[in-house]
Chain A
Amino acid sequence: MNKIQLDLLEQIAGIHEIPQGAFNFRIDGEAAGRNTTENIDIVTKEGGQGIDIFIKPGTKNESLHMPVILSKTGMVDLVYNDFHIGEDCDVTIVAGCGIHNGGDEKSQHDGIHRFFVGKNARIKYIEKHYGQGDGKGENVMNPTTEIYIEKGGYMEMETAQIKGINSTDRKTFAKLDEDATLIVKEKLMTHGNQYAETNFDVELNGENSSAHVVSRSVAKDNSKQLFLSNIKGNNRCSGHTECDAIIMDSAVVKAVPEITAAHVEASLIHEAAIGKIAGEQIIKLMTLGLSEKEAEEQIISGFLK
């Protein structure tokens, strides 16, 4: 790997070297390294456009890293990855995509990830998106995530897109069975003329299923964001969706949280708040010796932490 690729790897996966456990690296549209373990198997799909990941039932405390890196301008990459997580597993999956676009052509990574979470399995899924480059070419990412959680399963999804992605259209669909839980924490920052659209569609089908979808975002400069979220309660269940945005400069943020109850025991809540940084927060940090700009940065980085 060259320096650009290593730098991207650190940004999206927080790793400096080959990670422990299972991993699958994809660089510039090609497989670039793979390690399977006794419990985690990775199999290339026919045609090479993606992989199947099989995690054996009962696998505990194992991790899987699967970063994707695009470092050439004009790359358009599309992958289909399926995660089959066996019953009673407890695993962490770290994915992410970094684009370095030093040229003038568009670079694009579209990923379709499907999670099949088995009974009573627990999975933590972390996904970071990051772009850089000094050319005029756009960095585009359109991730789609489909989640199916069986009885008693639990999935926590942390997604972050902090910098450098010109356009993103993120879609997340989920269907939950009895006693299943889904927690989503999304962090998003847009600047320049970027556009980000994020869309959650969660069906709470099983009795006592629950979902908690929280998005925190910061929109700077002339960027635009659209947050859509719909939680459907089709059984005795609880659902909560929340969008909290800081708006700055000439940005535009639109939030459309939606809840649909189709069962009398469904308990659903939605919240949305958009506003500028509170003046008193800046003043408080200035009284600690920070400049106005430093105070602003501190507030944003805390908000997106």
Chain B
Amino acid sequence: MLELQNVSYVVKDENNVDKAILKDISVKINDRFVAVTGPNGGGKSTLAKIIAGIYAPTSGKILLDGVDITELSITERAKMGISFAFQQPVRFKGITVKDLICLAAGKNLKISEACEYLSEVGLCARDYINREVNASLSGGELKRIEIAMIIARGTKFSVFDEPEAGIDLWSFNNLIQVFENMHKKIKGTILIISHQERILDIADKILVVADGRVADFGVKKDILPGLLSSKQIACKTLIDKL
């Protein structure tokens, strides 16, 4: 279980004035599949980075299975079982898909084993295993490799930041299947930031983050109808235009 206790994250803006990105977030996540949604700029990606240890909260605590991990590094959290799929996957010159999958799995894999993970995300290992993770791969291919790495890690708490962004419609249907399969197999928790109704639809619970706060959190059947019927939180000018 992951618990955030009164987590806030404040940065200085360009005029050196404090700007709160996350405001006093308290939430307990103990479900198999939780979707995080909400308007752009509401703090979802920051929340994911706070969980992975990339950002340190300005105040508050983070607990994983009751252990305070607030002060722990990215590496230590990764070793304790937190995985994080980036919204924009990173490219590496010279490092191959197989290298990354092996690093993720924490051991040297046979081609056939690495193939298992790649085929889970709809990539044929023969075409990809020795490819460099560089600019020659498309955004969609990189996203799938990013997801394959998380599957290879097989940790108890996996965070995905908009895995569907940049993936074409045809691939998107496969992606939904990937997460449906993961939902069946996963022993821990998947936390997935998404705006896609079809992803929200396979979630057990939905967490709505807006303006740096938890706007809503509950089981899908309570949250989803409200999300689908309501206009997004916006100013009057924008609402009038919608």
Q: Are B79 and A289 in contact (CB under 8 A)?
A: yes
Q: Which of A35-43, A97-105, A146-154, A277-285 is found at the contact surface with chain B? A: A277-285
For B73, B84, B86, B90, the residue with the greatest tally of chain A CB atoms inside 10 Å of its CB is B90
Q: Please determine whether A286 and B103 come into contact, CB atoms closer than 8 angstroms.
A: no
Bound complex: CA of A284 vs CA of B90, how far in Å?
Answer: 7
Docked-complex contact A286 and B74, CB < 8 angstroms: yes
- Shortest Cβ distance from B86 into A: residue: A284
Give the docked Cα–Cα distance between A95 and B38 (Å).
Answer: 61
In the complex, the chain B residue whose C-beta lies closest to that of A281 is: B90
Chain A residues with Cβ below 8 Å from B153 are 288-289
A291 touches B86 (CB 8 A): no
In the assembled complex, the CB of B80 is this many whole angstroms from the nearest CB of chain A, namely 10
Q: Which B residues lie within 8 Å of A285 (CB)?
A: 103
Q: In residues 266-305 of chain A, which contact B (Cβ within 8 Å)? A: 278, 280-281, 283-292, 298-299, 301-305
Considering only residues 80-106 of chain B, those with a C-beta below 8 Å from chain A are: 82-84, 86, 89-90, 92-96, 99-100, 103-104, 106
- Asked whether any CB of chain B lies closer than 8 Å to the CB of A258, the reply is no
B interface secondary structure, majority:
mixed
Given A287-B74, A288-B104, A302 contacting B52 (CB threshold 8 A): no
User: How many contacting A-B pairs (Cβ < 8 A)?
Assistant: 59
Is A283 within 8 A of B93, CB to CB? no
Q: Does the CB pair B93–A244 fall under 8 Å?
A: yes
Instruction: Point out the residues of chain A lying under 8 angstroms from B94, CB to CB.
Output: 216, 301-305
Cα-based distance from A216 to B96 in the complex (angstroms) = 17
* Pairwise interchain contact B103-A288, C-beta atoms closer than 8 A: yes
A283: nearest chain-B partner, CB-CB: B54
Chain B, range 152-190, C-beta contacts under 8 Å to A: 153
The answer for the CA separation of A287 and B79 in the assembled complex, in Å, is: 9
Distance of B93 from chain A, by nearest CB (Å): 5
Nearest chain-A residue to B88 (Cβ)? A280
- Check if B149 is an interface residue, CB within 8 A of chain A: yes
Check A287/B103 contact, CB under 8 A, given A303-B94, A304-B94, A305-B94: no
On whether the beta carbons of B93 and A288 are closer than 8 Å, the reply is no
Given A298-B99, A299-B95, A303-B93, 13 additional A-B pairs, CB 8 A: A216-B94, A278-B90, A281-B90, A287-B52, A287-B74, A287-B84, A289-B78, A291-B75, A298-B103, A299-B92, A302-B95, A302-B99, A305-B94
**Would you mind naming 12 contact pairs between A and B with Cβ atoms under 8 Å apart?**
A216-B94, A280-B90, A286-B75, A287-B83, A288-B106, A288-B149, A288-B153, A298-B99, A299-B95, A302-B92, A302-B94, A305-B94
The 9 A-B pairs of least Cβ separation, nearest first, read: A302-B95, A302-B94, A286-B74, A289-B78, A284-B90, A305-B94, A303-B94, A287-B84, A286-B75
Residues of B within 8 A of A (CB): 52, 54, 73-75, 78-79, 82-84, 86, 89-90, 92-96, 99-100, 103-104, 106, 149, 153
